[in-house]
Amino acid sequence: MKQMKIVVLDSYVLNPGDLSWSGIEKLGNCTIYDRTPPKFFIERAKNANAIFTNKVIINEEIISKLPDLKFIGVLATGYNVVDTVAARNAGITVTNIPSYSTASVAQMVFSHILNFAQNVSIHANSVSAGDWSKSVDFAYWKTPQIELVGKTLGIIGFGQIGQAVAKVGLAFGMNVIFNNRSKKSADIKANQVDLETLLSESDFISINCPLTTENTGFINKATISKMKPSAFLINTGRGLLINEQDLADALNSEKIAGAGLDVLSVEPADKNNPLTIAKNCFITPHIAWATLEARTRLMNIATENIKAFIEDNPQNVVN
């Protein structure tokens, strides 16, 4: 095969400057763009043999205008940004990046859980503001302090990330239950239950399932009503798993105690999203995957994916 023309359409979020594209650059004539607005898609990708995309949508219309394209590398695990059927019909291989961020996402789940348990930043800011210096007591707390030992952690979706979350929960002494769309045997002390049981018994609920047409908006007024008023909801999966207005209403009326979210239905966040101003709702900007270590693994797998394709032995193919 002649030297490939490789185009990276939206590189910045993966690599804002602390990683190197050299591995991919060695494999062909490589052009890298920080971001690609829709009006430049075709212009930048024309004549490319391989493109990498993170959030740039590659639909059937775009594919039809790129006759030289043979490889699409998705720089993420989810590959819904690519019309995989149209790509297959056009003879284009599509790959993704599996299992690169499992440990980092599990860590973010517990960052949110621990935030609710002890509110370190609230108390640290209080000390910085001089409140402790003015206190007549040696200790004070501005929010209830929660011990995780003995609390029930309910995990929705028991794939690799869900199981990693379970292991951390067990290390904290939590009782772990999980719900999964298929029967799952666990080699750790975690019990599979139906969704209603999980919702009603859990003190903390972690959503770690993929988004499907069947579960879109499954966290809604009806399912939230089954949760404890003291329960906390954590979502590091996909924003569309939650009916956001229903969750905001539940938080503002104290139907549940709090929510920690790393994902929203529209990203970047819509300024009118009701969750951005909801009571006891903490939102992080989709960064569970973004540790340096996880992004380094992502870059390495992306490089191996295109290298394997060039060598006619493709890996991590999703179409």
Q: Supply the pLDDT for residue 1.
A: 53
Catalytic site positions: 238, 267, 286
Q: What is the pLDDT of residue 185?
A: 79
Handedness of CA 309, 312, 313, 318 (dihedral sign): positive
Per-residue confidence (pLDDT) for residue 47, from 0 to 100: 94
Distance of alpha carbon 170 from the chain centroid: 22
What is the pLDDT, as a whole number, of residue 194? 97
Place of tokens 């799952």: 184
Q: Would you say the pTM of this structure is higher than 0.85?
A: yes
Q: Angle at CA 80, nearest 5°, toward 75 and 84?
A: 95
Give the pLDDT confidence score for residue 3 in this predicted structure: 87
Find the Cα–Cα–Cα–Cα dihedral 86, 213, 261, 253, rounded to 10°: 150
The pLDDT value recorded for residue 172 is 98
Enumerate domains of the chain plus CATH numbers.
4-99+292-310 (3.40.50.720), 102-283 (3.40.50.720)
The tens place of each residue's pLDDT in the chain, 319 residues long, gives: 578 999 999 999 999 999 999 999 999 999 999 999 999 999 999 999 999 999 999 999 999 999 999 999 999 999 999 999 999 999 999 999 999 999 999 999 999 999 999 999 999 999 999 999 999 999 999 999 999 999 999 999 999 999 999 999 999 999 999 999 999 877 899 999 999 999 999 999 999 999 999 999 999 999 999 999 999 999 999 999 999 999 999 999 999 999 999 999 999 999 999 999 999 999 999 999 999 999 999 999 999 999 999 999 999 999 9
- Output the pLDDT for position 186: 73
Residues in contact with 10: Cβ distance below 8 Å, sequence separation at least 6, in sequence order: 33, 34, 35, 36, 53, 54, 55, 56
d(CA 178, CA 158) in angstroms, rounded, equals: 7
Alpha helices by DSSP H, the chain: 22-25, 41-45, 60-64, 84-89, 102-118, 120-128, 131-134, 160-171, 195-201, 221-224, 244-252, 292-310
